[in-house]
């Protein structure tokens, strides 16, 4: 019996194997084109959140200065009870209840009580994921302290890691080594707005720090005491060395743990003393970068860097 035209059309309503493969190939191409765009959009959103984190920190730093007439101090030594600049700005980032826990003026209790979300870059980790190193909450940002000259060492410790012999104006950043102990005795320096003679728009206060990408949740020797640490690479980094991306951690010529950097691909966010936040490329001239860390060197900072 001869087939009707209607039967023939019905019999050919499905895809052939070739047509199916073509459709799959087209879908694969579209996914390949869309995926980088989606990833780029997500990274842009994370970078924006990172920028907002630094803006909140900058506002808090200024509020501390308005209240006490000096910028928050950086603490004495690693693991000290005085704490970091981050513990001093808690009341100004809506963390008064966390600050109230420090009733004995010993910040050890704060290390285990959660880190404010503004201390964590979403491109790297979140506050919940950073419980590590014995239950301490870690930190993604650090204040800036400069070298006397690029690639010189040691003006981070000035030869004194665990003690502190204070020399006036020895530390030339905005947040400097020092603070008040539990007995109300001040040791170290205090930086006031008037001490930033290079101009607040030319001086870096805080930036993202470089971390090993495989140790975000396990911590590291410079990422173990957490956001409540004293003067230590956990919360302070050095502008005397080139900043780098996290992925280059083991391939940069040493000084890991003292560098600034980020999980972002081409640069990092920095907070300036005027409260503004800029995105700075990793390939910035090191002399310019170190000058950004100094409040009073008199060096020229170009408009674009």
Q: Which helix (H) or strand (E) holds 265?
A: none
Q: 269 forms bridges with which residues in the sheet?
A: 279
pTM recorded for the entire structure:
0.85
DSSP 261: E
The CA distance from 238 to 132, in Å, is 24
Residue 85 is predicted with a pLDDT of 96
E strand intervals along the chain: 131-132, 136-137, 141-145, 178-180, 186-188, 204-208, 236-238, 244-245, 261-262, 267-272, 277-281
> φ and ψ at 148, to 5 degrees?
-65, -40
Residue 240 is predicted with a pLDDT of 98
Strands across the sheet with 277-281, in order?
Answer: 236-238, 141-145, 204-208, 267-272, 277-281
- The tally of CA atoms less than 13 A away on the side-chain side of residue 129 is 12
CB 201 within 8 A of CB 272: yes
Query: Token pair of 25, please?
Result: 């190939």
Select from 163, 149, 157, 179 the least CA-distant residue to 257: 157
Q: Return the C-alpha torsion angle 77, 80, 85, 90, nearest 10.
A: 170
| Tens digits of residue pLDDT in 83-141 | 899 999 999 999 999 888 877 778 888 888 777 889 999 888 765 545 567 788 889 99
Residue ranges in 69-93 assigned as alpha helix (H): 85-88
Per-residue pLDDT tens listing for the chain (305 residues): 455 554 444 455 566 877 777 778 788 787 776 666 556 667 678 778 999 999 999 999 999 999 999 999 999 889 988 889 999 999 999 999 988 887 777 888 888 877 788 999 988 876 554 556 778 888 999 999 999 999 999 999 998 898 766 676 799 999 999 988 777 788 888 999 999 999 999 999 999 999 999 998 888 999 999 899 999 999 999 999 999 999 999 989 899 999 999 999 899 999 999 999 999 999 999 999 999 999 999 988 888 88
């Amino acid at each position: 019996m001869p087939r009707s035209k209607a039967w023939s059309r019905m019999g050919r309503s499905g895809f052939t194997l070739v047509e199916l493969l073509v459709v799959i190939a087209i879908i694969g191409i579209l996914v390949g084109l869309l995926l980088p765009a989606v990833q780029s959009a997500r990274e842009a959103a994370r970078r924006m959140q990172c920028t907002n984190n630094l803006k909140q920190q900058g506002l808090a730093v200024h509020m501390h200065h308005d209240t006490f007439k000096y910028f928050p101090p950086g603490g004495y030594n690693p693991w000290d009870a005085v704490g970091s600049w981050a513990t001093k700005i808690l009341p100004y980032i809506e963390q008064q209840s966390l600050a109230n826990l420090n009733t004995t003026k010993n910040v050890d209790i704060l290390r285990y009580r959660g880190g404010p979300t503004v201390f964590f870059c979403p491109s790297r980790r979140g506050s919940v994921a950073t419980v590590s190193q014995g239950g301490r909450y870690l930190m993604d940002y650090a204040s800036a302290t400069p070298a006397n000259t690029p690639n010189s060492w040691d003006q981070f410790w000035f030869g004194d890691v665990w003690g502190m012999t204070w020399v006036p104006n020895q530390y030339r950043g905005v947040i400097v080594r020092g603070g008040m102990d539990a007995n109300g005795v001040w040791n170290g320096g205090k930086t006031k707005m008037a001490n930033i003679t290079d101009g607040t728009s030319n001086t870096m206060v805080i930036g993202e720090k470089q971390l090993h990408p495989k140790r975000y949740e396990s911590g590291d020797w410079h990422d173990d005491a957490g956001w409540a640490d004293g003067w230590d690479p956990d919360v302070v980094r050095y502008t005397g060395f080139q900043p780098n991306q996290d992925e280059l951690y083991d391939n940069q010529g040493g000084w890991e743990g003292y560098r600034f950097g980020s999980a972002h691909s081409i640069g990092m966010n920095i907070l300036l003393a005027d409260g503004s936040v800029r995105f700075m490329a990793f390939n910035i001239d090191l002399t310019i970068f170190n000058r950004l860390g100094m409040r009073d060197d008199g060096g020229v900072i170009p408009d674009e860097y």
